[in-house]
Amino acid sequence: MKSLLSSTFSFRAIMRLALCIMMTGIIILVSLFNPCAAEAAEDTFYVEVLVARIRQAPTTDSPILFRARRGDPMVVDRKQGVWYHVKHPDGRTGWAHKKLFSATAQNSPQTSGRDHYINSVYMKSISNDKETIAFQLDSSHKPETFVLKGERPRVVCDFLNTRVLDSVGDRVEPEGTLVKDIRIAHYGGGAPRVRVVLDLTPGRNYAIDQTLFKKENRYVITVTATGP
C-alpha cells in the first residue's frame, strides 16, 4: 500500500513538473513569434528630425504627449515593432516611431561648436500684406525654421547653440497686422538655444520666405499674406 501511494505521489509530481515545463515553453514561443510583444532594451538614441512627436501609445492615432527636438538624447527602454518607448532627459516618457531617431549624436546641438549670439530682433511693416522680421547675429548662422498651420498659425525659429543678449528681452512689439506677437525664449545649459515664435493672425494664408545675409550676419523672415 505504501509503495502504491509513493508511486501515485511521484507520478503527480512528475506531471506537475511536466505541466510547468510545457507552460514555460508556450510563453517563450508566444514572446518569440508575437510581433506586438514589447522587447526590453536599454539604448540611447538621438532625435534626428527637427521635431519628434512623442505619443501616449505606439500608434499614429494616439495623443501627442510632448515634442522632442533634434539632438535630444532619448533612452529606449522598450521596443515594439517599429515603435520605441523613450525617456526624455527631463523624465517624460512616451512612444515614438523608430525612424525619428539615429544611433549617433552627429545631429546633436552639443556637437555643433561654439555658442552664437542674437544681438537684436526688429520688425518692419512693408505693406498691408507684407512684413519682415530681422535678426542681427554675431555670425552667419541660420536657424531651423518651420511653420505650424491651423487655428493658431505661427512660425517657429530654433537657433541652436545660441544665446540672446539681455537687451533683446523676451518679446518684440509688432508693428503691422500679419504678425500678432513675437515671443523669445532662451534656454541655457551646456547646449543653449533660443526659440523665437511669430504668432500670425488667424484666418489668412501666408507665404514664408527666409534669407540669410552672410556678409551682414543678418537673418530675415518675410511674411506675405497670399489670401483671406
For the stretch 49-69, pLDDT in tens is 777 889 999 998 999 998 887
Range with the lowest mean pLDDT among 95-99, 184-188, 190-194?
Answer: 190-194
Across the chain, mean pLDDT equals: 81
CA trace torsion 183, 187, 191, 195 (10° rounding): -10
pLDDT tens per residue, range 140-171: 888 999 999 889 999 999 998 888 888 888 99
Residue 38 DSSP one-character state: P
Question: In sequence order, which residues have a C-beta less than 8 Å from that of residue 89 and are 6 or more positions away?
Answer: 72, 73
Please state, as a whole number, how many other Cβ atoms lie within 10 Å of the Cβ of residue 130: 16
Q: Higher pLDDT residue, 31 or 210?
A: 210
What is the spatial distance between Cα 132 and Cα 125, in angstroms, rounded to a whole number? Answer: 6
pLDDT value of position 37: 46
* Report field, pTM of the whole predicted structure over 0.75: no
Please state, as a whole number, how many other Cβ atoms lie within 10 Å of the Cβ of residue 220: 15
The answer to whether the CB of 96 falls within 8 A of the CB of 147 is: no
pLDDT value of position 104: 76
| DSSP track, 67-135 | EEETT-EEEEEEEETTEEEEE-TTS-EEEEEGGGEESS-TT-GGGS-S-EEEEEEEEEEEETTEEEEEE
Domains and CATH numbers, the chain: 39-109 (2.30.30.40), 112-227 (2.60.40.3500)
Question: What are the Cα distances from residue 10, in Å, to 1, 2, 100?
Answer: 14, 12, 57
The answer to whether the CB of 109 falls within 8 A of the CB of 161 is: yes
